[in-house]
Every structure is written in structure tokens, then in C-alpha cells.
Structure 1
Amino acid sequence: MSNKTKAIVAYITIIGWIIAYLDYKKSTDKSPLVNYHLGQSLGLIIFSFVLGIAVTILVSIVPSLYFLSMIVSLVSLVLLLLGIITANNETIKPLPIVGKLFEGKFNFAS
């Protein structure tokens, strides 16, 4: 699998992230592109999961805020697509809004 493909696959669900991570770990070429996008995608997965739980609790308390869960899901999807596009362009650029939170937090190069 090429480095570009690993960076793209990292954004496709947690299963894709695990596949990209395992392939990255066994490769001898530790690409900074793949390392960066593994961190960004893991951060996005964690952020979306935590935000989803928070919105679910909020909606269970105030059911009229159901539209909020749809907005959160749509924002997560858009961020995921932007991450895939960035990985496809082979650029190291953080995701909008949340990307700066995860820069330097995860290092998979070791």
C-alpha cells in the first residue's frame, strides 16, 4: 500500500484507521504524511465519538434539540471528507476547526 493510500484509508472508519496503522508500523519507510494523517484521523474519530455522546445525552434531556445531532453528524462527515481530500493531495495540513487540537499529540513514528 502506498503512503498516499495509507493516509486516505486512515480516515475511513476505525477499521480503516487500524489497517493503515498496522501497515504503517510494519513498513520500513515511516512517512511523515502517513504519521500526520493517522494522528488527524484518530483525533477526529475521538472528537466525533465524544461529541456524539454529549449530544445524545443533551437530546435525551431536551428532545426538541434533535436537529443538533444531525448537524454534529454532518460536521463530522464534512471534516472527514476534508481530511480525505487533504490526504489525497499529499499535503500536511490540519483539519479545519479541530485539527490544531491534535497536532503533535499522537506520534506513530516510533
Structure 2
Amino acid sequence: ADAHQVRIAGAVATAYGKAGTSGDGTVQVLIRPEHVDVLDAPSSDCIPAVVEDEVFVGTDTRLQLRLNDGSTFTARLTNSPEQEKIRTSGTQVWLRIHSRSARLLGGEHVQHR
């Protein structure tokens, strides 16, 4: 798949797939909730976010996050002894997208309403 540099909430990420843009140059990018790491300190190519809510769901924790551009993202973290940190509402975090996990959505994958 073709690699493209995209800007997500002010951070640059690499997304893969055929680039189908709208008239203003925007693209739709798919990132699965389990394909990110949530970091407590900034690192290169990370997306800054603020925790809005944390929900424990069995083996997982779901973090509802607000990105710098106002959009939201839900991260799914697998619970483990190393992952027991509780992040309260308002906590600053950074998202690191797993390698080759951001996908460009072309027109054939987009539902029009």
C-alpha cells in the first residue's frame, strides 16, 4: 500500500492506502482503538490528547480522548499489571499510532448519508 504523510490534530502521521481527497485536500483516516499506545510524556510523532473518560470493561480499559482539533478518539488498552495507571478526566496524554496501523479510506469505503 502507498504511504502518505497526514496531519492528525496537528501531529504528522504516516497513513497507508490509496489517497482519495475531498476538494479541500482532507482525507479520512481509520485508526483502530487498540492500535495506539497512550503515553504520559510526549514523544516524536505523537498526537496530544486529553482524557475525558476512562471505563474499565473486563479485560480492557477504554479511554475517551479529546484531540487538540476538538475531535474525539477512543483508545482501547488491554488491562495488565503494567497498565494499571488510572487516568482521570483532564489528564494530558499522547497517542502513538502503531506502525502501519493508520489507513486512508477511499471513497468506496465511506458511507454517504
Higher strand share: 2
TM-score above 0.5, yes or no: no
TM-score range, shorter chain: under 0.3
TM-score w.r.t. the length of structure 2 is: 0.25
Q: TM-score, normalised by structure 1?
A: 0.25
